[in-house]
């Protein structure tokens, strides 16, 4: 009996906390499909706001995906070999490099953006293009890729795998392609999902770096909050949720799978 009371108490508390966190999000998304928010849901349900958002901000959504996927490509092409190199060489220097790569996590996005503006703002073509934002996103997301890959490399004793492939005659490139990358795949995948998710949701940096012609989804969101009807802004939130949630779910599923695979081993 006492146990059941404790259990019920715990359950109630958990539900309360969950509700506290979830209700605002649900309210916001509901506002996005309400005909008139101030009159409440009784005023009717509509998708008009969602269509309006699509009409006004479709380009920001497209751009966000373009930037996220480009950031992913850069992180894969640069980050994975960098992680391998850092892990292989070891030593104090590579630890220092790892720390430097990780630094952007601790520095406010605004400061990074300011630094980028100071350094490269003068190249006006670059400054005006979406590539400028991409540069910021790569700086911000790279540590997640590098760290995630290094963690996997350390877990599978990649140094000995590399040595055994070399003893069988494989050149450094063949080793990287046949042995390192396939075995680092869990880390590469986890890192990739992080990069895409973080890039899609990034606001601080992007807000400083964007121009009226290079808005991304979160910047558009801020824009709509500031200048549109509440319903439009809420519909925008809804659109953002719909796009980001599958990625988050994929991330969780994948994390679960690789944990299970590790247990099997």
Partner 1 sequence: MKAEHGVAVRAENCGKTFADGTRALEPVNLDIARGETVVLLGPSGCGKTTMLRIIAGLEQPDPGGRVLFNDADVTRVPIEQRNVGMVFQSYALFPNMSVADNIGYGLKIRSIGKAEREARVAELVELTGIEGLERRRIDQLSGGQRQRVALARAVAVRPSVLLLDEPLTALDAALRERLRGELDRLLRTLGITTIYVTHDQAEAMVLGDRIVVMSKGAIAQIGRPRDIYFAPASRFVAEFIGAANIVEGDYAGGRLKLAGGTLPLANGAAAGPVSAMIRPESIRIIAAEGAGLSGRVDSVSFVGDRQRLMVSGAAATAILVDVPNSLTVNAGDRVGLAVEPGAIRVLASGK
> To 10 degrees, the CA torsion angle through 236, 241, 243, 248?
160
Measured distance CA(158)–CA(68) in Å, rounded: 29
* Burial of 169 from C-beta contacts in 10 A (0-12 / 13-18 / 19+): exposed
Which of these segments, 37-45, 178-186, 192-200, 204-212, binds partner 1 (CB under 8 A)? 178-186
For partner 1, the closer CB: 183 or 199: 183
Measured distance CA(198)–CA(147) in Å, rounded: 15
170 part of the interface to partner 1, by CB under 8 A: yes
**Least distance in Å: CB of 183 to partner 1?**
5
Q: Which of 166, 198, 203, 222 binds partner 1 (CB under 8 A)?
A: 166
Count other C-beta atoms under 10 Å from residue 244's C-beta: 15
**Least distance in Å: CB of 157 to partner 1?**
7
Which of these segments, 78-86, 141-149, 175-183, 223-231, binds partner 1 (CB under 8 A)? 175-183
For partner 1, the closer CB: 122 or 169: 169
177 part of the interface to partner 1, by CB under 8 A: no
Measured distance CA(70)–CA(202) in Å, rounded: 14
**Least distance in Å: CB of 175 to partner 1?**
8
Q: How many residues bind partner 1 (CB under 8 A)?
A: 21
| DSSP-derived secondary structure letter, 42 | E
265 part of the interface to partner 1, by CB under 8 A: yes
Count other C-beta atoms under 10 Å from residue 251's C-beta: 17
**Least distance in Å: CB of 147 to partner 1?**
21
169 part of the interface to partner 1, by CB under 8 A: yes
Q: Which of 30, 114, 115, 156 binds partner 1 (CB under 8 A)?
A: 156
Q: Which of 5, 122, 124, 160 binds partner 1 (CB under 8 A)?
A: 160
**Least distance in Å: CB of 97 to partner 1?**
17
- Residues 133, 213 contacting (CB under 8 angstroms): no
Measured distance CA(182)–CA(179) in Å, rounded: 6
Place of tokens 């890959």: 149
198 part of the interface to partner 1, by CB under 8 A: no
Measured distance CA(33)–CA(42) in Å, rounded: 12
167 part of the interface to partner 1, by CB under 8 A: yes
For partner 1, the closer CB: 136 or 187: 187
Count other C-beta atoms under 10 Å from residue 171's C-beta: 10
- Residues 170, 180 contacting (CB under 8 angstroms): no
Contacts to partner 1 by CB under 8 A = 156-157, 160-161, 163-171, 174, 178-179, 182-183, 185, 264-265
């Amino acid at each position: 009996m006492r146990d059941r009371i404790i259990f019920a108490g715990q359950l109630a508390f958990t539900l309360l906390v969950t509700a506290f966190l979830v209700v605002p999000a649900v309210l916001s998304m509901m506002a996005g499909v309400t005909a008139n928010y101030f009159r409440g849901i009784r005023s009717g349900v509509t998708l008009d706001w969602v269509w309006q958002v699509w009409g006004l901000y479709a380009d920001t959504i497209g751009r966000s995906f373009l930037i996220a996927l480009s950031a992913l490509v850069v992180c894969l092409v640069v980050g994975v070999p960098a992680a391998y190199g850092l892990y292989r060489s070891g030593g104090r220097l590579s630890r220092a490099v790892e720390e430097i790569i990780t630094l952007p996590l601790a520095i406010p996005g605004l400061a990074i953006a300011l630094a980028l503006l100071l350094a490269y703002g003068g190249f006006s073509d670059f400054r005006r293009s979406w590539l400028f934002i991409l540069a910021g996103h790569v700086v911000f997301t790279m540590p997640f890729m590098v760290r995630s890959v290094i963690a996997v490399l350390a877990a599978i004793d990649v140094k000995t795998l590399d040595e055994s492939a070399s003893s069988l005659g494989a050149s450094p490139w063949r080793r990287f392609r046949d042995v390192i990358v396939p075995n680092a795949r869990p880390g590469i995948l986890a890192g990739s999902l992080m990069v895409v998710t973080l890039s899609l949701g990034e606001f601080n940096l992007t807000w400083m770096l964007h121009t009226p012609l290079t808005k991304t989804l979160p910047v558009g969101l801020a824009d709509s909050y500031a200048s549109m009807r509440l319903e439009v802004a809420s519909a925008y939130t809804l659109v953002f949720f719909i796009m980001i949630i599958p990625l988050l779910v994929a991330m969780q599923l994948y994390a679960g799978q690789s944990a299970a695979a590790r247990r099997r081993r």
